[in-house]
Structure 1
Amino acid sequence: MATYRTSAPRSRQRGLSFIGLVFFLLVAVSIGYVATKSVPILLEWQAIDKAVKKAANEGNTVAEVRASFDRAGAIDDIASISGKDLEVTKQNEKVVVSYEYTREIPLAGPAYLLYRFAGSSSAK
């Protein structure tokens, strides 16, 4: 009785093709581009939120609140809004400062990424 040796079936190659690699790199670069443009905008939003809460605690009148925000804006290099863009009200004898603004990131051609920010000093 003759014994036959059968070789194991060849398994398909596994891995990333060149086109797959190019696609992966394109996606990674796109995400990196959006992230590098978004991080400064988000850091500015944090500075605005902090300055709004500080201005609400320091000021008793609309002029005082706006001046306090403008001082903090000069220190933190806030360019998106100024004191005149703030809405200052009183609720239960407490000063409440609200803001709302948008920022755009140009992506390619007519495509933009739009950020809309809104907040208030009364938000916890």
Structure 2
Amino acid sequence: MTVSLHTRRRQSGVTLLGLLMWAIVLGFGALIVMKVVPTIIEYSTISKAVNKIAAEGLSTVPEIRAAFDRQKDIDYGITSITSRDLDITKENDKVVIRFAYNKEVELFSPVFLLIKYQGTSRTTTR
């Protein structure tokens, strides 16, 4: 009994080259995630601090800046902005605090990822 070439099923699967390509893609994705997640956590911390300060009912710009500096001293995760970077305005008798900053993340030399963050406090009624 001979098995002809036409009746054999062709083997399918992942080749070594395909496996290496997937490993490179997944490794690069993991590198990006590991580098970007800390910046997202910092943005979240800044946003929470700004919302907390806006809810405190402070009315003058120096008071708001001092409150942000105190919050920054308490939470060491805020390194990208200072109180001078806050844009503090009043809209319809409500204090609105805005911030924006750029974060450069080095993926590998000389490749950088530029992330632009911006946020606004939730307005509170006084």
TM-score if structure 1 supplies the norm length? Answer: 0.87
Q: How does 1:85-124 map to 2 (within 5 A)?
A: 85-122=85-122
Count matched residues.
120
Structure 1 ranges of 4+ moved more than 3 A: 4-8
Map of 1:37 onto structure 2: 35
Shift of 1:62: 0.5
TM-score if structure 2 supplies the norm length? Answer: 0.86
Equivalent-residue separation in structure 1 for 2:2 and 2:25 (angstroms)? 47
Tell which deviates more after alignment, 46-55 or 72-81. Answer: 72-81
Map of 1:18 onto structure 2: 16
Equivalent-residue separation in structure 2 for 1:118 and 1:6 (angstroms)? 68
Tell me: higher relative CO, structure 1 or 2? Use CA pairs within 8 A at least 6 residues apart: 2
Identity of aligned residues (%): 40
Map of 2:72 onto structure 1: 73
Superposition RMSD in Å = 1.9
Shift of 1:23: 0.5
Shift of 1:6: 6.6
Q: Give yes or no for contact 2:87–2:99 (8 Å, CA) kept in 1.
A: yes
